[in-house]
Amino acid sequence: HLLHEEASGMYLLGFDLDQDLILRAQNSNPFPQNIQFIPLDITENAKSHAVLESYLGKFGCPRFHLCTCFAVTMWVHLNHGDAALASLCEFLLLEAQPWKCYRSAARRLRKLGRSDFDHFKTLEIRGDMVAHARDHLENKVSVIQHGTEVFCSLKGDDKEQNNQTEVYLPDCGLKLL
């Protein structure tokens, strides 16, 4: 859509903890006037909210129209615990990794001679991560309770990336084509 002249009003913000990923994205960005990449830890609520509000303020918007989160939930959960995972579920598009990916990530750390993730052994949310995310969104996030929910299960071609993606859209006038 950014190839069309009328898309000049479309802006995207991408962020990640990994500075190297951000630099690669910035260097390969074909539309720097419309797409910005920044390093940001979304679990640092006060700091990240200030950065995001500042970005939205440039466009006079009170909120993002769509938020996506791919291959992130496990890392937030392992490094910041159950409360951070629940907070992350306020986003509209999530790709929840299966529990076996959590175990594999912990195993990789141990093979490298490092200690487990800070919260791995104390996590109470375990098992079917998609079901946990769906339950939280349906029962605890008002945008779902008062909006239209759309569930899409997407399967990747790669056997390792066979994660289920859930799509939630608030009742905001968006039309799915």
CA distance linking residue 143 with residue 170, whole number of Å: 6
What domains can you pick out in the chain, each with its CATH number? 1-64 (no CATH), 66-177 (3.40.50.150)
Query: What's the whole-number mean pLDDT along residues 138-150?
Result: 46
Query: What's the whole-number mean pLDDT along residues 91-112?
Result: 83
Q: Which stretch, 29-38, 70-79, 92-101, has highest mean pLDDT?
A: 29-38
Alpha carbon distances (Å) from 86 to 10, 45, 55, 133: 29, 13, 24, 8
What integer best gives the mean pLDDT of the chain? 74
CA distance linking residue 134 with residue 12, whole number of Å: 26
Q: Name the H helices within 30-173.
A: 45-57, 73-80, 82-88, 99-111, 129-140, 142-145
Instruction: Please report the pLDDT score of residue 87 as a whole number.
Output: 75
Regarding beta strands 68-69 and 164-167, do their DSSP bridges make them parallel or antiparallel, or are they unpaired?
Answer: unpaired
Band (137; pLDDT cuts 50, 70, 90): low
pTM higher than the cut 0.75: no
The pLDDT tens digits of the residues spanning 105-128 come to: 999 999 999 999 999 999 999 998
